[in-house]
Amino acid sequence: MKTLLKTVLIALRNLNRQKRRTFLLGGAIAFGIAIVTLINGFAGSFVENVSENFSNLLAGHIFVQGVEKTAAGKEYRTIADDGILLDIMTEQEMPVTFVSKRSEFTGSLIFQGESIRQTVVGVDWDEEQYLRERLVLLEGDFENMLVMNDRGERNGIILTEAIAEALNVELGERIIARMRTVAGQQNVGEFVLAGVSYDPGLFGQLAAYADLSYVNELLTLQPKQYQTLGIFLTDLGLIDQEAERYYEVLSQRVNVFDRAVEEDGQNPVEALFEQADEQTWTGVRYRLFTLNDVLSEVDEIVRLLNGAALVILLVLFVIIMVGITNTFRMIMYERVKEIGTMRALGMQRPRVQVLFLLEAFFLAMGGVAFGLVVAGIIMLILSRIYLGLDSAIFILLKNGYFTFTVRPLQVAMNTGIVAALTLLAAFLPSRKAALMPPVDALRA
Amino acid sequence: MSIVRLEDVHKVYPLGETHVRAVNGVTFAIERGDFISIAGPSGSGKSTILNMIGCIDTPTEGSVYIDGRPTSGLTDRQITRLRHQFIGFIFQSFNLVPVLNVFENIEFPLLLGSEVASKEERKEYVDFLIEEVDLTRWRTHRPNELSGGQRQRVAIARALVTRPQIVLADEPTANLDSKTGEGIIELMKRINRELETTFIFSTHDPSIMEIADHIIRLLDGSVIEDRRTATAGAKA
């Protein structure tokens, strides 16, 4: 132990001997680890941020939809009576913060001869306060929409900037909507442009938003009916567990579509929707899906990001390893007489090797520590910069800010990889030093 | 029993396609407590013989015995242990560990054995040696802060710290001015008397050579003179 402590001391002092070299090598390691930590940190918060932003746009974490199929094979998407759905939430004491009720259609919006396909989502503006906070309006305001509602003019619509430009429509102008009712019949409605929202464009264009009661009217649903129940939970981490619980009780009370029927590589929501068409059934059935199902591809992106970070780490460190090997070979020749002296004084071969390996290990650990500090500072600075809700990458941000989640296990893994690669790089030179006959070393 | 014995020792080095015969059938014995000078001009084989006695080199032919035991056939681990327990080294260019201070350099060999003395024991003996070589003021200085003579005194203390039976000094005064060199030899002689450690040093300086009580003179790898001096008689 005492010998090891002295060896550690010598290794540390040897590093201090060639400050510039140590700084350059340690700096290279620090650079590598900082880059990888930044990517990992970004990937770590990626899922959470994307999920949170999508949950706001989609209005929920767990979604329930009702589908009615007639004997003739006609399908109607509607929740006619949500009593059971809401009761289950209460009975199961689910950690719910808010419940959204939405209807939607995809049809053509027409203005002065211009036509464009667009999904129009009907929302309850009084209830969906968070959506009003999230949706960045470039023109118009929500107050205007609420005032219109109060006057009984429920046909205000908010379009994204891209759609408004494509239609060349101004605030207050009337837009024709051609769509189909839930029964599949053609219908036509009229909207008044009440606002233009910012379109981040990164994950496709956002939907247009209108008042729920008017969208229901166009869909020929009753005022109390709607199509999708969205349940907001207190924590994103509870989605799968709570969905499972809810589904179990729901399946005991009403007819439901099977969950988790997707084939490899298929989106779970897509698979769930296909069931309604494929299966021969009649009556009312409910389907339940979650935000995690919708965003299953996001997990894939995170896996890709982490995989890319690992590849970057490996490539960087293979390059750094070459530098370390060469440096340690140089160090060995510089200290050859010292090695000979230590061997002459009674130092055993393995200890000579340990001395070199310890030096490499401390170099790696110093580099890792420095790299983590640098990454931490960069993350701190980036997370303080407000990019805004109208940022092109808003979907990746949390309330307009970058966030980073660095997982200790990932840092430990990266540190382990760096330590292992550095030791590997120093192994051959250290072994050569240990095997050198003392007489040759002293004569050098 | 002689503490060191060489029997018909040869050492041949390969040099390109030829061979250089550095030591050519050397036989001699060294008694315990001797203060011995191995003398001769450059290339006479002094360092090679010291290296073989110090177990950092092996003879091509012949045998080297340390304390009656042959050094041939030992593993690297055994040879290293033998060096640590029996032999202390003083080098021409001091060979101190640059990152360790005076105290740490002297203490260093004590930490290399399989059994390490307690911190107090180590401190007591290292401080004693520092006092012996008159470096108390320089105890915490690093080698680059010391003069040549001071460095060599650190090397002497380091060579003695494991209480070896033999101390080998390869041209210990070669890198020092004559006055400092004399001081070093006198210090070695004093320690030889006080601690009864066998000192074997190589030199090509006739004035230093004569201080020894046993002189072995070499020429072209062979012993041309092996005699005890008047000093030896006085000591006896």
Residue B29 has pLDDT above 60, yes or no: yes
The angle formed by the CA atoms of residues A48, A53 and A55, to the nearest 5 degrees, is 90
Q: State the nearest Cα–Cα gap between B104 and chain A, in angstroms.
A: 9
> Which are the contacts of A307, defined by CB distance < 8 A and separation ≥ 6?
none
pLDDT of residue B196: 87
Q: Phi and psi for A174 in degrees, rounded to 5? A: -100, 135
Write the residue in B84, B99, B119 that is nearest to A17 by C-beta. Answer: B99
Q: How far is CA B42 from the centre of its chain?
A: 18
- Yes or no: say if B192 and B199 are a contact pair by the CB < 8 Å rule: yes
Q: What is the pLDDT of residue A109?
A: 94
- DSSP code at position B144: G
pLDDT band of B236, cuts 50, 70, 90: very low
Q: Do B80 and A2 touch (CB under 8 A)?
A: no
pTM over 0.90, yes/no: no
Q: What is the ipTM of this complex?
A: 0.91
pLDDT in tens, B115-140: 778 889 999 999 999 998 889 999 99
B149: left (phi over 0), alpha (psi -120 to 50) or beta: alpha
The C-alpha atoms of residue A19 and residue A12 are separated, in whole angstroms, by: 11
The pLDDT, as a whole number, for residue A110 is 94
Which residues face A13 on adjacent strands? Answer: none
More confident residue, B195 or B69: B69
> Nearest CA to A426 among A366, A368, A371, A361?
A361
Q: What is the pLDDT of residue A392?
A: 65
Higher pLDDT, B30 or A4: B30
CA–CA separation, B38 and B209 (whole Å)? 8
User: Cβ neighbours of residue A228 under 8 Å, at least 6 residues apart?
Assistant: A59, A60, A63, A64, A65, A79, A100, A101, A102, A103, A104
When comparing pLDDT for B234 and B107, which is higher?
B107
**Measured between CA atoms, how close is A429 to chain B, in angstroms?**
19
Contact yes or no for B37/B49 (Cβ under 8 A): no
Closest by Cβ to A346, choosing from B80, B91, B98: B80
Inter-chain CB pairs, A–B, below 8 Å:
72
Question: Around B89, how many Cα atoms within 13 Å sit in the side-chain half-sphere?
Answer: 31
* Nearest-by-CA chain B residue for A341: B95
HSE (CB half, 13 Å, CA atoms) of A188?
A: 4
Identity (one letter) of the amino acid at B143?
A: P
Is the pLDDT at B229 greater than 70? The verdict is yes
Q: Closest approach of chain A CAs to the CA of B84, in angstroms?
A: 4
The type of residue at A80 is: A
Name the closest residue on chain B to residue A10, using Cα atoms: B99
pLDDT at A265: 67
- A351 contacts on B by Cβ (under 8 Å): 112
Q: What is the pLDDT along chain A (444 residues), one digit of tens a residue?
A: 667 788 888 888 888 888 898 999 999 999 989 998 998 898 888 777 877 777 777 788 999 999 988 887 788 889 988 899 999 999 999 999 999 999 999 999 999 988 999 999 999 888 888 778 777 888 888 777 777 777 778 889 999 888 899 999 999 899 999 999 988 889 999 999 999 988 765 544 578 999 999 999 999 998 888 999 999 999 888 999 999 999 999 999 998 988 876 676 677 788 888 877 777 778 889 999 998 888 777 777 777 877 887 888 788 878 888 888 898 899 888 889 999 999 999 999 999 999 999 999 999 999 999 999 999 999 999 999 888 766 667 777 777 788 898 889 989 999 999 899 899 999 999 999 999 999 989 887
pLDDT tens profile B139-171: 999 999 999 989 999 999 999 899 899 999 998
What pLDDT score was predicted for residue A33?
92
